[in-house]
Chain A
């Protein structure tokens, strides 16, 4: 994870420029059609999006707008029906399931609204999971999982089960899991949706801190307040990107 060259300066108010940074996500005319009861449903109708390294982009839209589909395709959980998707310069739209799994494992970290931790599995084992599939040895996995858990402030909760943790803590475990394999991109889908406002704020602070350390962050939400933490908000409606706005940071 390369340090952003302007990372010290990026907290300044106003418009930041990532124009020189390389593209980490590029969606070009992405169409996604789901067959549903014999009828074709358009989830995305030619969406295009570019995200540069180190950016924090919010994607806003009502439910059913296609923002989840956009996130799934960006996150290599799904393939577009048409169009191209580039992650770190690599066209992933034609990759097979196992190749996509490799991309997810090595380049992308997910943070979900419902945390999606394995139940009856300790926090540290949950965090180790991506490393398990990356083929990292057991000792190394422990070590790295412990490090990231400490980084999100859960160093004392390593062996707790999700059911023993608060919502905010569970989401922090999920963030640790997303981080552990040094992804270049973190995708967060309503990460504060299931949290009270205090835990939500904590989680947002962690995510922003990570972004400050150079990790690209894409956050999907329908909540304006949450989206305003981003540098840039992309609006999506009916499967189309309808607009973009730069956020001026005055509301911290």
Chain B
């Protein structure tokens, strides 16, 4: 019998039990939908993270407190992950940034980063945002441009001044010019001397909803005198590895007791993000796979019920000349139709879901043809795999017993 003929027959039979067929498909729909959605979102996120890390600033090196081995976080030796951010006394000091800056050759820029979150206000307009305590090197290191005014200079490091991101400017000042205005940051008065140009988001953190103040003010008003990290901007990609060793040696030379720090490069971050994403993809992929498996079992279950229900039909077909393989083929076609239609609906679901999620979370999704083709054939495979046993059972029924079956 031809495949088309078989498919036609299978669809007629599935149409006779619409609700049941749909419910049986659900497992495959969800499974396939999840697989494609995760693959497309995963690929999108991977690209996004790559460009996000680039957007932090290129050729960046970060010194962070604690001992972190990005390569072994998810590797064989998680016990090596001593300390970590916040779990161990942070011994970074703003002065270290100056120290590193002095020792590094021309072209390197170093900025300490102290992060806090505070309420800020201008008149009756209030806003809650991140406040970064840093030095004059910050725009260069993080790749900020100024839209209006300018960033504070080395000589202004002890003044109560700030620069604000465009989002903050919009929220506090609306259409007004913020330059020269006094705003309250955590209850302390600061003068706005600049507005940074829009930069977008990195890692879901809005680079434009932020306020920068001199690190000395952070320590004085908010009690935070330890940088969360020290960022170093290298002049070229080639200079990064050398600088990493140099910074490590410099900090070791300080011979501070119980001192732990880690020098991370952008490449480490990309690798780290990739490995997290890969683990996440595998994990979610496994869940999606389980869902497909469950869907397949559902198909098998329904097909077994269907074979029992249609024992008489099988008897009739055999009596008029259906061979073992004809009956086998018929039932196999039905299970494959269920799974393939389920697969197609799953692909449609994934399209919708991925578009929706990428819109909500602001990450791009990459629908790839290979993922769709893979899912399509995989769902077909599920139909074959879980359909073989019921189909074999049907094909082996004895015609006389089947004809008598009530």
Binds B, one of A2-10, A102-110, A197-205: A102-110
Q: In the complex the two chains form, what is the Cα distance from A97 to B319 in whole Å?
A: 11
A15 within 8 A of partner (CB): no
Q: Pick from A77, A118, A129: contact of B400, CB below 8 A.
A: A77
A118–B323 CB distance below 8 A: no
Q: Pick from A78, A98, A112, A133: contact of B317, CB below 8 A.
A: A133
- What are 22 pairs between A and B in contact, CB < 8 Å? A75-B319, A77-B318, A77-B399, A97-B324, A101-B318, A104-B318, A104-B320, A105-B321, A112-B403, A116-B319, A116-B403, A118-B316, A129-B316, A130-B320, A132-B5, A133-B1, A133-B317, A133-B323, A133-B326, A135-B1, A138-B5, A177-B320
User: Residues of B with Cβ closer than 8 Å to A?
Assistant: 1, 5, 16, 312-313, 315-326, 399-400, 403
CB proximity of B370 to chain A, nearest CB, Å? 36
Q: In the complex the two chains form, what is the Cα distance from A72 to B399 in whole Å?
A: 10
B323–A77 CB distance below 8 A: no
A117 proximity list for chain B (CB < 8 A) = 316
B1 proximity list for chain A (CB < 8 A) = 132-133, 135
Q: In the complex the two chains form, what is the Cα distance from A106 to B316 in whole Å?
A: 15
Q: In the complex the two chains form, what is the Cα distance from A135 to B323 in whole Å?
A: 12
CB proximity of B327 to chain A, nearest CB, Å? 10
Q: In the complex the two chains form, what is the Cα distance from A102 to B313 in whole Å?
A: 18
B322 proximity list for chain A (CB < 8 A) = 101, 133
Max chain A Cβ within 10 angstroms of own Cβ: one of B319, B323, B326, B400 = B319
A143 within 8 A of partner (CB): no
Q: In the complex the two chains form, what is the Cα distance from A133 to B314 in whole Å?
A: 13
Q: Pick from B16, B315, B319: contact of A120, CB below 8 A.
A: B16
A97 proximity list for chain B (CB < 8 A) = 323-324
A72 proximity list for chain B (CB < 8 A) = 400
A21 within 8 A of partner (CB): no
CB proximity of B199 to chain A, nearest CB, Å? 65
Q: What is the chain B residue whose CB lies nearest that of A133?
A: B321
Task: Take A129-B317, A138-B5 as given contacts and tell me if A116 and B324 are in contact as well, using a CB distance cutoff of 8 Å.
Answer: no
A134 within 8 A of partner (CB): yes
Q: In the complex the two chains form, what is the Cα distance from A106 to B321 in whole Å?
A: 8
A120 proximity list for chain B (CB < 8 A) = 16
New contact pairs (8) apart from A116-B319, A129-B316, CB-CB < 8 Å: A77-B319, A77-B400, A101-B321, A101-B324, A117-B316, A133-B321, A135-B1, A181-B321
A133–B319 CB distance below 8 A: no
Which residues 178-228 in A have Cβ within 8 Å of B in the complex?
A: 181
Q: In the complex the two chains form, what is the Cα distance from A134 to B317 in whole Å?
A: 12
Nearest first, the 10 closest Cβ-Cβ pairs linking A and B are A105-B321, A133-B321, A130-B320, A101-B323, A98-B323, A116-B316, A133-B322, A77-B399, A104-B321, A129-B320
B16–A133 CB distance below 8 A: no
Question: What number of residue pairs across chains A and B have CB atoms under 8 A from each other?
Answer: 59
CB proximity of B402 to chain A, nearest CB, Å? 10
User: Residues of A with Cβ closer than 8 Å to B?
Assistant: 72, 75, 77-78, 97-98, 101-102, 104-106, 110, 112, 116-120, 129-130, 132-135, 138, 177, 181
Q: What is the chain A residue whose CB lies nearest that of B325?
A: A98
Q: Pick from A98, A105, A135: contact of B320, CB below 8 A.
A: A105
Q: What is the chain A residue whose CB lies nearest that of B316?
A: A116
A78–B16 CB distance below 8 A: no
A112 proximity list for chain B (CB < 8 A) = 403
B324 proximity list for chain A (CB < 8 A) = 97-98, 101
B312 proximity list for chain A (CB < 8 A) = 116
Q: Pick from A78, A102, A118, A119: contact of B321, CB below 8 A.
A: A102
A104–B319 CB distance below 8 A: yes
Max chain A Cβ within 10 angstroms of own Cβ: one of B5, B316, B318, B325 = B316
B316 proximity list for chain A (CB < 8 A) = 116-118, 129
Q: What is the chain B residue whose CB lies nearest that of A116?
A: B316
B319–A78 CB distance below 8 A: no
Task: Take A120-B16, A132-B5, A138-B5 as given contacts and tell me if A110 and B321 are in contact as well, using a CB distance cutoff of 8 Å.
Answer: no
Q: In the complex the two chains form, what is the Cα distance from A19 to B313 in whole Å?
A: 39
Q: In the complex the two chains form, what is the Cα distance from A104 to B313 in whole Å?
A: 16
Q: What is the chain B residue whose CB lies nearest that of A138?
A: B5
A129 proximity list for chain B (CB < 8 A) = 316-317, 320
Q: In the complex the two chains form, what is the Cα distance from A105 to B319 in whole Å?
A: 8
Q: In the complex the two chains form, what is the Cα distance from A177 to B321 in whole Å?
A: 12
CB proximity of A79 to chain B, nearest CB, Å? 11
Q: What is the chain B residue whose CB lies nearest that of A180?
A: B320
Max chain A Cβ within 10 angstroms of own Cβ: one of B1, B324, B403 = B403
Q: In the complex the two chains form, what is the Cα distance from A98 to B325 in whole Å?
A: 9
CB proximity of B311 to chain A, nearest CB, Å? 12
Q: In the complex the two chains form, what is the Cα distance from A82 to B21 in whole Å?
A: 46
Q: In the complex the two chains form, what is the Cα distance from A120 to B399 in whole Å?
A: 21
Q: In the complex the two chains form, what is the Cα distance from A117 to B316 in whole Å?
A: 7
Q: In the complex the two chains form, what is the Cα distance from A119 to B234 in whole Å?
A: 79
Q: What is the chain B residue whose CB lies nearest that of A177?
A: B320
A133 proximity list for chain B (CB < 8 A) = 1, 317, 320-323, 326
Max chain A Cβ within 10 angstroms of own Cβ: one of B312, B315, B399 = B399
B399–A118 CB distance below 8 A: no
Q: In the complex the two chains form, what is the Cα distance from A129 to B322 in whole Å?
A: 9
A78–B323 CB distance below 8 A: no
Task: Take A98-B324, A138-B5 as given contacts and tell me if A118 and B318 are in contact as well, using a CB distance cutoff of 8 Å.
Answer: no
Q: In the complex the two chains form, what is the Cα distance from A129 to B324 in whole Å?
A: 15
A101 proximity list for chain B (CB < 8 A) = 318, 321-324
Q: In the complex the two chains form, what is the Cα distance from A181 to B321 in whole Å?
A: 10
